[in-house]
Structure 1
Amino acid sequence: MTTFTEQAPGVAEQMPAAAEGFTLNHTMVRIKAPERSLHFYTHVFGMRLLRKLDFPEMQFTLYFLTQLSPEDSIPEDPDERTVWTFSQRGLLELTHNWGSEDDPELSYHNGNADPKGYGHIGFNVPDLESAETWFDDMNVEFIKRPDAGKMKNVIFVKDPDGYWIEVIQAELMAGVGS
């Protein structure tokens, strides 16, 4: 099977045999208040909670969320659901360190303030204009609207912990970059 990928300095010409079958499963961000963050991601972005894992001895909880398709069949058995969750692609893991919600001084670095590092979470939507209206209706904080700045047709909003979320409509991205 031939797989086309772009070329750039540092890119392997072929996938290393030892990496065959590797899959990006999830990315993790720390959250301060689980109820607030879970409300945001499930009500605003329509994500579903696949698995909640508590670790009392280390005092943290993991929440794994994703966008589900109607054909997805999630196992009811907790162990089977855990294995299924860790075999998926593109999950968002929210990590809550117990007690963080009670610390008024605590805020997590979103990666976009100096020193810059981590950037954002990204979502593709079927209609960018409708998404913008929906975010307004849900009182979501905008960083950038689709008609602002040099890069048009891209929205940036903030989640409850200040992490940036890029929202695009794939069809509108043709011709971007060089």
Structure 2
Amino acid sequence: MRMLHTMLRVGNLERSIAFYTEVLGMRLLRRHDYPDGKFTLAFVGYQDETDGAVIELTHNWGVEQYELGNAYGHIALEVADAKKACDDIRARGGKVVREAGPMKHGSTVIAFVEDPDGYKVELIEHGTHGR
């Protein structure tokens, strides 16, 4: 078995694709409309789906907003330099909600950004966390 993707429901597909591709630097891997079901799926990631896990953005036509609830945590991305990543993301219009710095009760350097729908994305600095 292997991890394929994580699915997020989004209120504005174009805005979400722009965030994940233009702000976080992922590629749009594929996109398909399902008119009979009134939804569109778009897959974004840093590598092809055959090589690693990606994010599935699901847009249900006519739904512009979702309740995120309190069970969802975040998506985590490894970055070379968390402070620089925050600066770059902010410069591209992204929203940094926790600046880079050590996590509470540890030494792992992390930061958090938020996508257009309010989903959190954690940035973890390479070499500062245990596996």
Per the shorter chain, which TM-score range?
0.7 to 0.9
Correspondences of 1:154-173 after superposition (within 5 Å): 154-173=110-129
For residues 157 and 36 of structure 1, the distance between their equivalents in structure 2, rounded to whole angstroms, comes to 15
Name whichever of 49-58 and 146-155 sits farther off.
146-155
Which of 67, 77, 81 aligns to 1:109? It is: 67
Correspondences of 1:30-49 after superposition (within 5 Å): 30-49=9-28
What TM-score results when the alignment is normalised by the length of structure 2? 0.87
What SS does the corresponding residue of 1:147 show, helix, strand or coil? strand
Structure number with the higher helix fraction is 1
For residues 111 and 97 of structure 2, the distance between their equivalents in structure 1, rounded to whole angstroms, comes to 8
Judge conservation of contact 2:19–2:116 (CA < 8 Å) in 1: yes
Structure number with the higher strand fraction is 2
Judge conservation of contact 2:83–2:99 (CA < 8 Å) in 1: no
The letter for the 2-side match of 1:38 is: I
Q: Which runs of 5+ in 1 are unaligned?
A: 1-21, 73-84, 102-106
Q: Which runs of 5+ in 2 are unaligned?
A: none
Identity of paired residues, percent? 40
Number of residues of Structure 1 aligned to a counterpart in Structure 2 = 129
For residues 133 and 118 of structure 1, the distance between their equivalents in structure 2, rounded to whole angstroms, comes to 26
Judge conservation of contact 1:25–1:88 (CA < 8 Å) in 2: no
What TM-score results when the alignment is normalised by the length of structure 1? 0.66
More RCO (CA 8 Å, sep 6+): 2
For residues 54 and 117 of structure 1, the distance between their equivalents in structure 2, rounded to whole angstroms, comes to 29
After TM superposition, give the deviation of residue 171 of structure 1 in Å: 0.5
